[in-house]
């Protein structure tokens, strides 16, 4: 059987209040009928996770980052172990917005390994800032994968999810432009090759998602011709109507 597609909503630092978050989550659940071919994950800000996680089962709770270790003297941080206790089963790591704030590849690597030990599935974001004529962006993505996944035990590598997010296509990037399904597809093929060089056959089970301004109009295109196993959706995940349409598209495909 085909592995389930994965559609992940990244709410980023939205919305402002718990009340609004609750409304958004409820509207989302109402719009989504039960899914057979799709796993739906929503990653709200940490402060809303507990309450939202208790509101319904159709959607899996995720998070947008987590610190390594379980507990300890790390002021301001939240560990993957704590999020797991709260019901989260996926965490986004290495998002370009966090890398831009100075998060290093080494830290991302430690966070991923730590999440895996507590049973949280890491969604590792990789992607280049810009595209150059010499195709240097392939090397950028390769270096991110190698550094961020270094030393990940082979027996859990299939739990890792990769999200290819070209920064130039993300909705918040000034002067952004659309990536095409072909752009995604060629990178997916390349990522598969890098992963298989790094982890051998075990890497073939890794799901690869595309993210970067995905909406209800181009989701089908990315899912069919982009060669991806799912999508990481930012802005459109804040609209229950658009997000549920994207899920319906995934359900209708083979």
Chain positions contacting ligand PGA, by CB under 6 A: 10, 165, 170-171, 211-214, 232-235
**Known active-site residue 165:** yes
Which one from 39, 95, 97, 128 is the annotated catalytic residue? 95
CB of 72 to ligand PGA, least distance (A): 29
Beta bridge partners of 207: 161
Residue 3 DSSP one-character state: P
Q: What is the number of the residue whose Cβ is closest to ligand PGA?
A: 234
CB of 10 to ligand PGA, least distance (A): 4
Q: Which residue has the tokens 């990789």?
A: 126
Cβ–Cβ under 8 Å, residues 83 and 114: no
At 20, list the tokens: 């609004």
CB of 201 to ligand PGA, least distance (A): 29
Cα separation, 236 vs 185, in Å, equals 21
- Name the percent of the chain in helix, strand, coil, to the closest 5: 45, 15, 40
- Give the count of beta carbons closer than 10 Å to the beta carbon of residue 197: 12
At 213, list the tokens: 């301004």
Question: Taking Cα atoms as reference points, which of 13, 21, 41, 14 lies closest to residue 247?
Answer: 41
Which of residues 15 and 69 has its CB atom nearest to ligand PGA in the complex? 15
Which of residues 148 and 213 has its CB atom nearest to ligand PGA in the complex? 213
Which of residues 151 and 175 has its CB atom nearest to ligand PGA in the complex? 175
CB of 215 to ligand PGA, least distance (A): 8
Which of residues 191 and 233 has its CB atom nearest to ligand PGA in the complex? 233
CB of 155 to ligand PGA, least distance (A): 28
Residue 106, CA distances (Å) to 68, 151, 162, 185 in order: 12, 11, 17, 28
Residues catalogued as catalytic: 95, 165
């Amino acid at each position: 059987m085909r592995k389930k597609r994965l559609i992940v909503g990244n709410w980023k630092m939205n919305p402002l209040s718990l009340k609004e978050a609750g409304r958004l989550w409820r509207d989302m659940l109402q719009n989504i009928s039960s899914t057979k071919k799709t796993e739906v994950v929503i990653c709200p800000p940490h402060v809303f996770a507990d309450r939202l996680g208790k509101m319904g089962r159709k959607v899996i709770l995720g998070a947008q980052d987590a610190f390594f270790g379980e507990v300890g003297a790390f002021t301001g941080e939240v560990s993957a172990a704590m999020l797991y206790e709260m019901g989260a089963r996926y965490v986004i790591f290495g998002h370009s917005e966090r890398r831009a704030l100075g998060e290093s590849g080494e830290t991302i690597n430690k966070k991923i390994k730590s999440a895996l030990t507590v049973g949280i599935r890491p969604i590792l974001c990789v992607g280049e800032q810009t595209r150059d004529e010499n195709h240097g962006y392939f090397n950028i993505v390769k270096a991110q994968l190698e550094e961020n996944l270094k030393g990940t035990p082979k027996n859990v590598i299939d739990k890792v999810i990769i999200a290819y997010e070209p920064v130039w296509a993300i909705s918040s990037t000034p002067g952004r432009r659309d990536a095409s399904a072909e752009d995604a597809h060629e990178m997916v093929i390349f990522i598969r090759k890098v992963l298989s060089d790094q982890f051998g056959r075990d890497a073939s089970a890794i799901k690869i998602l595309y993210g970067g301004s995905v909406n209800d109009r181009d989701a089908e295109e990315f899912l069919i011709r982009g060669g991806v196993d799912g999508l990481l959706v930012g802005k459109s995940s804040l609209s229950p109507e658009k997000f549920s349409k994207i899920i319906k598209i995934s359900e209708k495909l083979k």
